[in-house]
Structure 1
Amino acid sequence: MPLLLALHDGDAAAAAALEQAVWQLSESHWVFGTGLLVLTGVSPAYLSTHLTRALEAAGSPASLLVTPLAENASLDGLPPEGRDWAAAALAEG
């Protein structure tokens, strides 16, 4: 299953809307700052559309970028438990 990176520039309300929307597509995700790592079977385009609709419904507009992470992605900036989770997800994918 691919690991997708979703970045946004929204406020706390946008972040909450995004995390709630992610639960609808994936039980396995990691939130950090203004980003989410999402382990899901949907495409980046589908996730982007789903998250954009959630932002619109919440009245919290934000710019959004969704892209897959490659197995050789640098995870050094994440806290250890996030880095371990992401590395395991990438190894499975």
Structure 2
Amino acid sequence: MKTIIQICMASFLALPMLASAQACNDIKDKDKANYCRAIDTNDKSHCQKIGSNDLLNLCMGKVENDIKYCRRITTDKIKKRCENSIR
């Protein structure tokens, strides 16, 4: 009985991670999908796959929690979004 409970608990804990990963996979734009994966997993390796410099720096800023990446962003709206997420 204890094993069944442990399996059920592991399943309930894993379901949200699988659901968010699936949501990222449903995004058609590759850069946005990689941004989604990076934020969900807090893994900068997904950021490094992003081709758009502004989105790449936003992603790295959030994952690394470092404002130096925000300063590299050229688009004002994205730069503000990055700075506000780190402060």
Which of the pair has the greater relative contact order for Cα pairs under 8 Å at 6+ separation?
Answer: 1
TM-score, normalised relative to structure 2: 0.33
- Structure with greater Cα Rg: 2
